[in-house]
Amino acid sequence: MSFDKQQFVHELITPNSSKIVLLVMDGIGDLPNEEGLTPLMKANTPNLDKVAQMSDLGQTIPVLQGITPGSGPGHLSLFGYDPIRYQIGRGILEALGEDIDVGELDVVARGNFATIQGDIVVDRRAGRPATEESAKVVEILNANIKEIEDVKVQFYPGKEHRFVLKLTGEGLSDKIEDADPQKEGKPIKFTSALSPEAEKTARIVNKLLERIKEVLKDQPKLNFALVRGFSKYPQLPQFPEVYKLKAGAIAVYPMYKGLAKLVGMTIIPTGQTIEDEIETLKTEWNDYDFFFVHIKKTDSYGEDGKFDDKVHVIENVDKIIPEILALNPDVLVVTGDHSTPCAMKGHSFHPVPIMFCAKYTRKGLSKAFNEFECARGTIGTIHATDVMNLIMAYSGKFEKFGA
C-alpha cells in the first residue's frame, strides 16, 4: 500500500467505538509433515476452530508472490504499509524495542551471538542462550571495545542470543550489506558498502567484527557475532493518524515493540508469557481502540524445526481465545506475519492463514483454522497490506466511496 492509498482510506474513515484485536502468531503458516498435517492441523484447537466457523477465512501475501519476507516487512504489511516502499532495517526495530535512543549520528544493527569453529559459523544463535548469559557477554564487549577509529561503539543486551549494536560518529551510512551468512556451515561474512558514502561504515564494521572475534575467542559458545539490518532512524506515516485509532501494542520481544513504536503505537508493558499478554489486554481494554497482540514462539519453534513445540504453542494460544472473546471485540483477526515451516527451519514464501471474526461475515463455509481451510475461505488470497482496509470495513469505520 502506497502512501497515497493510505491517504485515500484516511479520508473515508469515520471513527466509532469499535474495538479491534489483531492477534499475530508469528510464523504460523507451515507445510504438512509425513502425516499430512501442519502444526495448525495437528494442534487441538477447539476455540480457534469455533471462531473459524463464525469468520471469513483467507490467506495473505506479505510482500509479493514468491518473495520470502522478514518479520519487519511482514508486520509493516499487516499494519497497512507497503514493505517495498518502506524498507526498514531490523536494527532500528530492535533498538526502539529496547528503548535505545537513536540520533542523527547513529547507525544501529541487530546482532546475534553465534558459535564459530575457525572461520565457519556452526550455530547462528549460539544455542539460544538465556538472556542473562548473553547479557554478560555484552558487558565483556562494552568493557573491551569502546571505539573503532573515530566511531563510538556501544552494545545493548536483547533477548536470548540477540543484542543491539549502535555506532555513533560523523559520516556513517546504513547502506551496507548484512554481515551474516544466514546459514550454518558457511564462513564468516564481512560487510561491504552498497554505495560510495558507506565505505567508511563498512570498514568500521569489519574492523569491529575482527575485534569481537578476538575478545570472545575463549567463550565456549558465544564466541562471535553476526550483525544485520543496519539502519538509521526512518520516518513513516503514523498509524494512529492514518487510521484514526488509539492503538496499543502488547509484545514480549523487542523487535515487535520496535515495529509498533516506529508506526506510532503505544507500547503497553506486559509480562513474558501468553497468559501475561492476555491479562494485559484485559487490563487495558477500555483505554485503546486497536490492540496488536504478538505471539513469538510459533516462529521460534518453526525456525528450530520443532514441530511438536510449535503445536504446543498453538494449543496455548487456543486456550486464551475465550478470554479474548469474553471482551466482546467488534473485530478479531488471527493471522501471522509470514510462514515459518518446520521442515524449512526458516521463513518461507508460502501464503499466511488469516481469519476475520466480526458481525458481518459470510460465516458457515469454514470448519477449522488451518492453512487448507484458509486457502478455501471466503476472503481468498489477498495482499497483507489490504488487511487493515478489511479491519476498518468490518468495524464499520469506512464511509461509502462515491455517489
- The structure's pTM equals 0.80
Q: Is residue 400 part of a domain?
A: no
Q: How many CA atoms lie within 13 A of 215 on its CB side?
A: 19
Co-location of 134 and 161 in the same domain: yes
Residues 6+ apart with CB under 8 A from 47: 318, 319, 321, 322
| pLDDT profile of the chain (403 residues), mean per 10 | 75 95 97 96 97 97 96 94 89 85 92 95 93 94 96 94 95 94 94 95 97 95 95 91 97 90 94 96 97 96 95 97 98 98 96 97 93 96 97 95 86
- 189 and 261 both lie in a single domain: no
What's the pLDDT at 97? 82
Is 262 part of a structural domain of the chain?
yes
Q: Mark whether 220 and 244 lie in a shared domain.
A: no
**Do residues 377 and 326 both lie within one domain?**
yes
Clarify whether residues 138 and 65 are in a common domain.
no
Both 40 and 106 in a single domain?
A: no
Q: How far apart are CA 20 and CA 288, in angstroms?
A: 9
SS3 45: coil
SS3 content of the chain, % helix, strand, coil (to 5): 35, 25, 40
Same domain, yes or no: 244 and 213: no
Same domain, 257 and 207: no
* pLDDT recorded at residue 204: 97
Cβ count within 10 A of residue 10 = 13
Q: Is the Cβ–Cβ distance between 242 and 80 less than 8 Å?
A: yes
For 159, residues 6+ apart whose C-beta sits below 8 A from its C-beta are 131, 252, 253, 254
Q: Which among 231, 260, 276 is the end of a domain?
A: 231
Structural domain ending residue among the three candidates 212, 231, 250: 231
Same domain flag for 270 and 155 = no
pLDDT, position 98: 85
Owning domain of residue 259: 3-87+236-394
Does the residue 399 lie in any domain? no
Same domain, 129 and 209: yes
In a domain? residue 402? no
CATH of the domain at 149: 3.30.70
Burial of 22 (0-12, 13-18, 19+ CB in 10 A): buried
> In angstroms, rounded to a whole number, what is the distance separating the alpha carbons of residues 72 and 82?
11
Into how many domains does the chain fold?
Answer: 2
Q: Which residue reads 478479531 in cell numbers?
A: 332
For the range 323-329, what are the long-range contacts, defined as Cβ-Cβ under 8 Å and sequence gap of 24 or more?
323/278, 323/282, 324/21, 324/23, 324/278, 324/281, 325/51, 327/19, 327/21, 327/281, 327/282, 327/285, 328/19, 329/19, 329/20, 329/21
Q: How far is CA 170 from the centre of its chain?
A: 31
In a shared domain, residues 75 and 143: no
Is residue 80 in some structural domain? Answer: yes
CA distances from 2 to 83, 142, 237, 336 (A): 9, 41, 11, 21
